[in-house]
Amino acid sequence: MKTIKLIRQNHHGRNCIFIYCENDPDFNRMIRNYPGRNWSRSSSAWYVPDCEGSVRNIIAYFKENFRIDATNLHRSKRTVDSGFRENHVSPSGYLDPVRMTVDTTKGKLVIKFMGRYDKKWISELRQYGRPYYDPVKKEWYLSATRVIIDSLSDYFNNEGVQLILKKAVKPAAFKETRKNIINKIRQRELPEDINKKIKDFGYFLQQQRYSRHTLDSYLSHLELFFKYFHSLNPEELTNENISEFMESVIIKQGYSASFQNQLLSAIKAYYYYHGHGRLNLEEIKRPRKSKPLPQVLSKEEVTRILQSTRNIKHRLLLYIIYSCGLRRSEVINIKLSDLNRDRKTLHIRSGKGNVDRVVPVSDKVWSKLDEYIAAFKPGEYLFEGQNGGKYSAGSVYHVFCQSAKRAGIDKDLGVHSLRHSYATHLHEGGVDIRYIQELLGHKSSRTTEIYTHVSRRNLLNINNPLDDLEVQ
């Protein structure tokens, strides 16, 4: 199925929507029968006037036969071809981007129109409760729920408006103050018997085959918790003490709900092992976690990232992460012996939760692999550092960020975005969610089902109920 690109341009003094498609007999036949279409000799393309409902009508007309790419409606063709966003908007020009910032600490979604906007956007915001408007910052505020973020993302994408979705970044001064407060707590000394109990608990976690990352996190959390109450023995602590710690340290210092949840898991596991003491573990309530949707790249954006990666090693690294749906920790642990060229597969060993899985490897990866091995001659691990040993997770992150920056992608992204994109693109391509679950190594299908919320596979096939009413 070929793709039609919709691009908003100014043509002879009025806004128009240009419809671009590779030379295709079906497209040529259909566009000639489309009401109100015109041909531009200067652009060598078909276009229609940019009126209310134009985008919706185009999608409804072509959706059965073509993919519709409306991601560039906010930019001119010159901007799309060059890959860079223009720094200005002409008086007759195009609607500017919308920035949505998720503040996980406050549970707020901050929406800011970056310039020219359509007044109906405000009406759309009011569909999700009573948004608060700050006239000084010129920002709108809504609850940062998964449904609202998902729905508004779909709305602005359907409107052809560039959406910049980011997480709120805490000020450097705030981080420095928090660091100093936490360091003061950690500098306190614990009695030897408490240190021994924490070590014994660590040995227990090792025997239970907890991952090194989880083990280190649990012990660090417990040390901070017990040092905060350094004058009390663990057996003397109560549920009220836990509430005090959460309020004074975790919430006041702006730690996330995920951090708080893991700390509670460490406390519960410790007391289940050593005895409850004065605690009632059943009454310890976990925080409500926000469930933001994964940040997904379009296939065009993935292409730009891969093409902007110049180093052979770095390009293969990103090829494998995307084409196999890997976590950052999984790609740095790949050994040469894990690759099976005859079966065209990769064996992922001891992934998250110590789960092994086998994933197919693209032919494009094998061709890049030969070139890479001949140039870098890795020893044990596929990706190794300059001094040998496996590549660091920080280096993988740096490679990805530099490639995304060169590709001109202005989003709050991490390496995991490639894994999210892999899963979403599989779902949009018609792959059953159960197979995607197996490829990603998820224990539960509920984890995998989040990709049905960001996949647009079935959205364009949904008929609006208004179309069934005989009204004018």
pLDDT, one tens digit per residue, over 298-352 is 888 889 999 888 788 999 999 999 999 898 889 999 999 999 988 889 998 876 6
Is the pLDDT at 196 greater than 90, yes or no? yes
How many angstroms separate the CA atoms of 311 and 158, rounded? 36
Is the pLDDT at 88 greater than 90, yes or no? no
Give whole-number Cα distances, 418 to 186, 301, 326, 351, 429, in Å.
Answer: 37, 10, 8, 17, 16
Active site residues: 327, 352, 416, 419, 442, 451
pLDDT average, residue stretch 185-211: 91
Region of poorest pLDDT, from 38-52, 294-308, 414-428, 450-464: 450-464
Name the CATH architecture for the domain at 98-167: 3-Layer(aba) Sandwich (3.40)
- pLDDT (0 to 100) of residue 335: 92
Is the pLDDT at 459 greater than 70, yes or no? no
- pLDDT (0 to 100) of residue 450: 65
How many angstroms separate the CA atoms of 79 and 92, rounded? 16
Q: What is the mean pLDDT of the chain?
A: 81
In DSSP notation, 204-264 reads: HHHHTT--HHHHHHHHHHHHHHHHHTTTS-GGG--HHHHHHHIIIIIITTT--HHHHHHHH
Q: Do domains 173-283 and 299-454 have the same CATH topology?
A: no
CATH, range 173-283: 1.10.150.130
Give whole-number Cα distances, 366 to 69, 79, 311, 362, 371, in Å.
Answer: 30, 34, 16, 7, 9
**Residue-wise burial string across 21-52, b where 16 or more C-beta atoms lie within 10 A, e elsewhere:** beeeeebeebbeeeeeeeeeeeeebbbbebee
How many angstroms separate the CA atoms of 43 and 293, rounded? 38
58 residue type, one letter: I
Four-way CATH pick for 299-454: 1.10.443.10, 3.55.10.10, 3.40.50.300, 2.40.160.100: 1.10.443.10
Output 285 or 448, whichever has higher pLDDT: 285
- pLDDT (0 to 100) of residue 222: 94
Nearest to 17 by CA among 8, 26, 5: 8
* Token duo for residue 81: 């071809």
Spell out the domain ranges in the chain. Answer: 3-82, 98-167, 173-283, 299-454
**Pairing between strand 98-103 and 163-167?**
parallel
Alpha-carbon torsion (181, 175, 220, 251), positive or negative: positive
pLDDT average, residue stretch 251-260: 83
Query: CA 238: distance to chain centroid?
Result: 38
